[in-house]
Structure formats: structure tokens, C-alpha cells
Amino acid sequence: MANTLQGKRIVVGICGGIAAYKTLSLIRLLRQAQAEVRVVVTKAATAFVTPMSLQALSGNAVAESLLDPQAELGMGHIELAKWADAVVIAPLTANSAAQLAQGLAQDLLSTICLATTAPLFIAPAMNQQMFKHPATQQNLALLRTRGAVQIGPESGEQACGDVGFGRMAEPETIFATLQNAFAKGKTYAGLRVLITAGATKEPLDPVRFLTNHSSGKMGFALAKAFADAGAAVTVVAGSVQLSADLSRLPIIRINVGSACEMLSAVEDHVQHCDVFISCAAVADFRPETVSSQKLKKDPKNQTETMTLTLVKNPDIVAKIGQMTENRPFVVGFAAETENVADYAKGKLKSKNLDMICANDVSNGKGFNRDENAIHLFWKTPQGLDETHYPLTDKLTLAQYLAEKIVQVYKTC
């Protein structure tokens, strides 16, 4: 991607959280991209990062106080708000999110956010239970309705020892989101998309597993198509044998193995997305038991056969389709070898999907290829509509699909 941040004036706001140390790397990335950076810290933030370090990295004095006499002589809080091409707050704490949602101007950072017309980017970071609290969710939702672009958070182990959703997005992800926002044609800005991609692996023993031929190319192409157009994208990736690197795009990637792991990751993130696209090839069954040791051939077994008992895996897209609260727009994929259209329409209804992308994978088509063809079906107030995309490269196809998905989503 071209350097879209050169010469851009970025206000970086830092709130009081342990993730503040990661913002040092974000400032370094912005400076390397030749952006001008002004740092504004809350009082609590200075307990985690020092103004001296921030000044050294940004090349400018750090603003701390709303009524600093020296600051008011030069670039005061109103001038700083007018100066900015973008304001990014990383980390954004639960307390600061509440202040912004209520329109309070209790410190320099919240005052700048009220006074600026520049786009606001927020990277929440807090304890997982604080993040899940309805008050925090309402505050963040209110900020998004006002145009704020939310980046993350991610799930994982936290400084307090908890494990869950609340880790600040990585500096590279925040940087890529900012860079992407200044590119032209960002028609999906503010849209949050969750995509599953690749194959799941169902272990038999420590060295063997059941899987399928999915490469993840279609899911990754969709992620790129949405991210290139300004959407905030999270990818839950199973087994993906690709050299493509999504790190230069504003995409959060979560790696999983089995279908159950994929379901858990999707459930962690789906309440915070607008569109869910189930593109992964999820195994329908898994071994009932997984051996702790490598399975050996039995020399006494003269028939040279082995019997495996398989149990059903959870149907991820059906579970999301049946959600009753905070349900996203749900898009499924149907890879079939016969009666493609009939099976796809049946799944659209039985799984309560909004749209389904059907493709014929018989005779080696679709899986692990650079091209694909899609027969698309979606619900309308009048019943069912459809269109067909002929064989083309997967990135071009993904761009067509993304456009149609957004078009139908906006009419719902």
C-alpha cells in the first residue's frame, strides 16, 4: 500500500491503562510514515508512560493539561483540535469511553474530541469483564454511531491474569487502519466484518488429524476486499496454506485449529460485528475420542482395518443465524458436488441465513484454486433473489461479493 500518511497531522491520545506502552510503537510507526504527531495524555496515562519518552518519539512536546498557560499561548486545545487530520485514542479506557459518549470535556483529550471535526479512531483496552459490561458496550456503540472507527479489542491473556476480549489491538493493526482510512474510495468505512477462512483440523492423535482441501484463499480475498474499502475486518483462520500476509492491512487475524475452537473464537467476536461471513470449510464431524499417544498398527489385526467413531461438530453458521440478540447480517458458503442450487437454497432457509454463496467443487473445482465461480442467493421481502458470478480470480470475485453483500445488508 502507498504511504497515505505522509504529511498527515495525527493527534495520538493515550489513556491510563497498561496497554499504553504499546502506543510508543504506534508513534514510531507514524513517524516512520512521515506523519506529524502530537501526543495528548490523560493524567492517569502518565503513570504508565512518561511524557519524556513520548516527546522523544513524537518530536513534539506532550500536551497534558487542559489549562496549561504555555500551551494556550501557542497551540491551545481548540487549535490542536483544528490542527488534526485524525485523532486516535490508544488505549481507550472504559472511563474515557464513558466520558466521550456523554460528551463531557473534563480533560484536554475529551475537549479535543468535542472540538475537532477530524475522524476519531478508538482502540479500547480494558479488563474483559469491564469490556463486556452493558454500559461499556452501549458507550462504544454510541461512539460508533457518531462516526468513531473502533479498532479491536482482541482476545487473549490480560495483565490482570484474566483471559478474554479486551486486549488493545496491536500497533501495526492501528497503524494500518489509519493508513487505510486516508486512501481513496473507502466506501465501507465504519463497517465491522467477521470472516472465517480455511479448513479446520480435527485431531485423531498427536500426529494425525481429519481435514479437507480448503486453502483459505477465498476467505482471505474477502478480507482484503473489505479492508481495502475501509471496513474493520477480523479473520478467524483455520488451516491456511498461504504465503499472503495480511499484516499490512487493518485486519485482525485469530488462528484456530478445530471446529470447536473456531466456534469459540467466533462467539467471542460476533457480537461486535455488523456482517458475519462463514467462508471456512468446517469439518462436519470429529473423532469421538482423541488418543494421547500415536495410534499404532495392531499386528494381530489380520483385516488391516480400523474403526473410528465420529461425532457431529457444531454448525457455526447455523448458530449465528439463529441468534436473537445483536445478530449480524449472516452470509454462508455452500461447497457442493451436485444439485448445488437446491442444496444452497435449502441451507439458506434451514440455517436462517441472509445470503449464501454456492460453488461447485466437483472434479477439483473451487478448492485450492486461484479462481472460483459463485451462485449467490439472498432473502428479500418478496422472497428470494439470486445472481451468478462466472469463473474469475478470487480477489476480483471477492470484490464483487463484498459490493453485493454491503448492498443487500444496507437494505435490511
Q: Which residues are marked as active site?
A: 160
**146-161 b/e with 16+ CB inside 10 Å = b?**
eebbbbbbbbeebeee
A 10 A CB-CB count for 135 gives: 12
Q: How far apart are CA 49 and CA 261, in angstroms?
A: 36
Q: CA dist 387 to 122, 354, 378, Å?
A: 38, 14, 9
Residues 242 and 393: their CA atoms lie apart, in Å, by: 16
Q: Which residues pair with 9 in a beta bridge?
A: 36
Exposed, middle or buried, 35 (CB in 10 Å: 0-12/13-18/19+)? buried
What DSSP character marks residue 169?
P
Picking from 235, 240, 238, the residue whose alpha carbon sits closest to that of residue 215 is: 240
Total residues found in the chain within this entry: 412
Strands 251-255 and 232-237, bridge-based pairing: parallel
Residues 300, 302: Cα–Cα separation, whole Å: 6
Instruction: Classify burial at 109, counting beta carbons within 10 Å of its beta carbon; exposed 0-12, middle 13-18, buried 19 or more.
Output: buried
Assign 89 to helix, strand or coil: strand
Give helix 394-411 / helix 217-228 axis angle, nearest 10°. 60
CA distances from 8 to 13, 85, 178, 283, 348 (A): 16, 6, 10, 47, 46
- Within 10 angstroms of residue 167's Cβ, the number of other Cβ atoms is 23
